[in-house]
Amino acid sequence: MTVPPTLVEQARAVLRQNLIVTADGHRYIRPAPMTYEQQWLWDSCFHAIVNTHFDPTLAQDEIEALLAHQLTDGPDAGMVPHMTYWDGLGMPLWGHADRSTITQPPVIAHAVERVYTATGDLAFVARVYPAVQAYHAWWQRRRDPDGDGLVSLIHPWETGWDAAPAWDGPMGLSAPSDVESRQARMALVAKLAALDYDIQAVQAAGLFNVESCDLNALYHNSLICTARLAEALGRADEAEGYRRQADVTVAAIQARCWDDAAGIYRDLAGPDETPLAKTAATTFVPLFAGIPTAAQAARLVARLTDPAQFWPAYPVPTVALSEPLFAPDRYWRGPCWMHLNWLLYHGLRRYGYHDVADHLAARSFALVEAAGFWEYYNPLTGAGLGAHPQSWATLVVDMA
Ligand code: GLC
């Protein structure tokens, strides 16, 4: 599969249009004009990956800008905030002018490794490696209270899938409207701040606490990427430590998230790790991290490519078409998102499902060619939805 050249040129233009140069000279790409002017964690990692094709120096700058507001002291030292407010407008929601107080899926080490592969610039790796180390130490120290290798999330925004139906229950909501769901997320920030973002206090208070299968798969992948970065820097002992940690996480995902009767990975909620019933496309993300066995992968791919579940005209819907709560136009409750397609494309390739991956790439190209670069899309009609032009939709150029 090759990416249509017009799409490549349009993607380049979107990233150029969305580039922000801060007053002190940092460079990052906003997710979308007006709607998302700040710097977001996983968006920036995805932009950096796309920029390995266009402008690797900008990719490096964006990662370094992302790490600039990593916490350096206090109980959450090492955390990388999910939002950086270069304009200083974060105070009302977060109590900090320049950053949020929660994180997002850990794809930083993956982005660093992609940039390193593209550039061979070991000095860049050496510059960011201490921050990557501190970030993983933070996850382990603050978010794995039972030490089982699965990390916990304390806010739906940390999952990256803000309003997914799977979070209704853990948020104490039942089929909420978009407004209700958003208000509940805003209100949760103040409750977390009152508890100093302490996971044990969060669990005791019965607040949102989820070990999601996709984030933990990305966490596992992040540990492996960090191990390879450590090896590149000649730090064999540290690499070994990250691999051991990754082994614990993968074993826990297989033992606790995999539901063999259903043939899916489940998210776990609460300190007692109750598997959540709703089926979302999060279940396929472990493919990206190489976690399933070949037999598990076959079952996942059969489900993914079932036209009644996850394979409509424009795959992949975030929620199965067969779920009663599937809503093709509603934020995180059904639409197709290009960063998910990118994760699944690479997962399918990794397991040798090249035809399925090619089909997914071809449908993704057709979608973006017809509709443009949108935050998300109606998976039945291909209509663009949400913010526009959205930077991470440019991930299509990395699906070949
Ligand atoms: C929304 C998404 C989140 C993303 C952000 C910026 O909040 O839910 O995952 O990082 O927009 O694109």
> pLDDT for 109-125, tens place per residue?
999 999 999 999 999 99
Q: Among the atoms of ligand 1, which is closest to the Cα of residue 42?
A: 10
Distances (CA, A) of 338 to 33, 55, 100, 332: 18, 21, 25, 12
C-alpha torsion 388→394→399→400, nearest 10: 130
43 lines ligand 1 (CB under 6 A): yes
Atom of ligand 1 nearest to the CA of 43: 10
**From the CA of 119, how far away is ligand 1's center (Å)?**
28
Stretch 347-368: mean pLDDT, rounded? 98
Alpha-carbon gap, residue 318 to 186, rounded angstroms = 23
Sign for the pseudo-dihedral over CA of 239, 243, 249, 253 = positive
Binned at pLDDT 50, 70 and 90, residue 12 comes out as very high
Q: What is the structure's pLDDT at 288?
A: 98
Question: Is residue 254 a contact partner of residue 271, using CB atoms and an 8 Å limit?
Answer: no
Q: Whose CA is nearest to atom 12 of ligand 1?
A: 31
- CA of 295 relative to ligand 1 center, distance in Å: 33
How many A from CA of 319 to the centre of ligand 1? 17
| Ligand 1 atom at shortest distance from the alpha carbon of 375 | 12
39-40 vs 83-84, strand pairing mode: antiparallel
Ligand 1 mutation pick, 35, 43, 103, max ligand atoms within 8 A of CB: 43
Mean pLDDT across 199-226: 98
In whole angstroms, give the CA distance from residue 357 to residue 350.
10
Answer whether 42 contacts ligand 1 (Cβ < 6 A): yes
Cα(43) to centroid(ligand 1), Å? 7
d(CA 219, CA 242): 11
170 C-alpha vs ligand 1 centroid, how far in Å? 20
Q: Read off the pTM.
A: 0.98
Nearest Cα to Cα of residue 103 among 146, 148, 156: 156
- Describe the crossing of helices 354-371 and 5-17 by its angle, rounded to 10 degrees: 60
**Ligand 1 mean position to 38 CA, how many Å?**
11
* Token output for 173: 């909501």
Atom in ligand 1 nearest the alpha carbon of residue 32: 12
Ligand 1 mean position to 181 CA, how many Å?
15
Ligand 1 pocket test target in 36, 84, 100, 390 with most atoms within 8 Å of CB:
36
Judge contact between 299 and 282, C-beta under 8 A.
no
Whether the pLDDT of residue 1 is over 90: the answer is no
Closest approach atom of ligand 1 to CA 36: 6
Question: Rounded to an integer, what distance in angstroms lies between the CA atom of residue 80 and that of residue 106?
Answer: 9
Q: What is the pLDDT of residues 67-98, one digit of tens each?
A: 999 999 999 999 999 999 999 999 999 999 99
Q: What are the tens digits of pLDDT across the range 322-335?
A: 999 999 999 999 99
CA of 377 to the centre of ligand 1 (A): 14
Assess whether pLDDT exceeds 80 at residue 305. Answer: yes
Residue 159 alpha carbon to ligand 1 centre in Å:
10
CB of 40 closer than 6 angstroms to any ligand 1 atom: yes
pLDDT tier, 320 (very low <50, low <70, confident <90, very high otherwise): very high
Q: Atom 4 in ligand 1: which residue has the minimum CA distance?
A: 160
Distance 392 CA to ligand 1 centre (A): 10
Residue 89 tokens, joined: 């407008």
Task: State if residue 373 touches ligand 1 by the CB under 6 angstroms criterion.
Answer: no
How far is residue 363's CA from residue 273's CA, in Å, rounded to a whole number? 36
Write the pLDDT tens digit of every residue in 368-377: 999 999 999 9
Position in ligand 1 atom list of the atom nearest CA 391: 12
In this structure, which residue's CA is closest to atom 2 in ligand 1?
Answer: 160
Using a 6 Å cutoff on CB, does residue 374 contact ligand 1?
A: no
Summary mean pLDDT of the chain: 97
Residue type, 89: L
Å from CA of 197 to ligand 1 middle: 21
**Whether the predicted pLDDT of 267 surpasses 80:** yes
